Amino acid sequence: MALLEINELRTEFATRDGVLTAVNGVSLRVEAGEVLGLVGESGSGKSVTGFSIIGLIDPPGRIAGGSIRFDGEELIGAPEEKLRSIRGRRIAMIFQDPMMTLNPVLRVDTQMIEAIRAHEQVSEQTARARCCEVLERVGIASPEQRLHQYPHQFSGGMRQRVAIAIALLNRPALIIADEPTTALDVTVQGQILYEMQELVRESGAALIWITHDLAVVAGLANRVAVMYAGRVVEDGPVDMVLDAPAHPYTRGLLESVPANNPPGARLRQIAGMPPSLIGLGEGCAFFARCDRALESCRQPVPLTPLPGSTAPEHAPRLVRCLYPINEMVTP
């Protein structure tokens, strides 16, 4: 049994123009200790998938269908009390903006101790010791002094580290990190990526790393799932997907990564725009932008095992394409 098993998840928002299907039949599995990269352009439904898992979809949004099983338990429709006990303890989320986690008017120690005591009855002294230990683990020096400070006294990178520390406080089994380094400068990004990798390796937690940047998942993830227009279009071991993407969209994404292009060459961009998520049909959502598309692609296209793939059984290569690419990327 996988730690997290999502089947045909559907999350919608009521908008003035109609029902917007942000997550449109997403199925994903994450094993304990595994790092899954969830990749896709802005607006593809990555964050809404994360919020759905942790139970943070509020009206006008709603989970309209599917199943999210965490450690064998169904989360969709579970009582709020149950979700609250799981959130922050067994599943933690790190947001792009650390101030989604941090309260600007409270000292860091107040917030961290509260985060522990929301789930566990421990003495102030024990809680404080754990805060220091976790702050140190995320690369914050002199944690005793730092605990007395307010969020605004930390730099952007340090503030994100505090948010990561809070996520780690209760030793969660699953961490969902939603582009936590996107707003930081490149050096700090690299450091935090490296540290997160060490942290999940030490703790054995599973990690879903959400990013629009395929290059980021290359060194971090075991598996990658690529989202497009609210659907998973490709899923598999990270090296296999990056070396020989099967979905034309994944290949397009890879070709628009600067490092994959000869210096000085113009970056290739995927022509066209993603489709509207209001009233999107059942056919392939990439149809209008795809140079391989045929009439048959207007039919519903399921996510199926890639023919002839040598991927292991526990991490199969899946692709939502009738005419998948069958070749290596030529650098």
Ligand X SMILES: Nc1ncnc2c1ncn2[C@@H]1O[C@H](COP(=O)(O)OP(=O)(O)O)[C@@H](O)[C@H]1O
Residue numbers of the site for Mg ion (CB under 5 A)? 47
Binding mask 47-86 for ligand X (x = CB under 6 A): xx-----------xx-------------------------
Span interacting with ligand X, options 14-22, 114-122, 139-147, 159-167, rule CB under 6 A: 14-22
Partner whose footprint covers residue 22, from Mg ion, ligand X, none (CB < 5 to 8 Å by kind): ligand X
- List b or e across 301-311, with b for residues whose CB sees 16 or more CB atoms inside 10 angstroms: bebeebeebeb
Adjacency order of strands within the sheet including 73-74: 18-30, 4-15, 61-70, 73-74
Binding mask 169-208 for ligand X (x = CB under 6 A): ----------------------------------------
Candidates 42, 125, 269, 310; binder of ligand X (CB under 6 A) is: 42
Could you report how far apart the first and last alpha carbons of the chain are, in Å? Answer: 38
Residue 100 sits in the site that holds ligand X (CB under 6 A): no
| CA–CA dist 295, 220 (Å, integer) | 38
Cβ atoms of residues 103 and 166 within 8 Å: no
Adjacency order of strands within the sheet including 35-39: 91-94, 174-178, 206-211, 35-39, 223-228, 231-237, 318-319, 304-305
> Residue number with the shortest CB distance to Mg ion?
47
Cβ atoms of residues 233 and 227 within 8 Å: yes
Residue 15 sits in the site that holds ligand X (CB under 6 A): yes
Provide, rounded to whole angstroms, the least separation between the CB of residue 282 and ligand X. 18
Beta pairing partners, 210: 38, 178
Closest to ligand X by CB, 147 or 176: 176
Contacts of 127 (CB under 8 A, 6+ apart): 112, 113, 116, 117
Specify the pairing of strand 304-305 against strand 61-70.
Answer: unpaired
* CA distances for 40 relative to 1, 56, 155, 272, angstroms: 27, 21, 28, 15
Residue 17 sits in the site that holds ligand X (CB under 6 A): no
Closest to Mg ion by CB, 97 or 255: 97
Nearest to 156 by CA among 137, 178, 177, 182: 182
Residue 37 sits in the site that holds ligand X (CB under 6 A): no
Specify the pairing of strand 206-211 against strand 174-178.
Answer: parallel
Candidates 9, 20, 134, 200; binder of ligand X (CB under 6 A) is: 20
**What distance separates the 2 farthest-apart alpha carbons in the chain?**
67
Candidates 43, 65, 190, 316; binder of ligand X (CB under 6 A) is: 43
Closest to Mg ion by CB, 229 or 290: 229
Span interacting with ligand X, options 38-46, 75-83, 103-111, 162-170, rule CB under 6 A: 38-46
Residue 40 sits in the site that holds ligand X (CB under 6 A): yes
Partner whose footprint covers residue 37, from ligand X, Mg ion, none (CB < 5 to 8 Å by kind): none
Partner whose footprint covers residue 43, from ligand X, Mg ion, none (CB < 5 to 8 Å by kind): ligand X
Binding site for ligand X (CB under 6 A): 13, 15, 20, 22, 40, 42-48, 60-61, 277
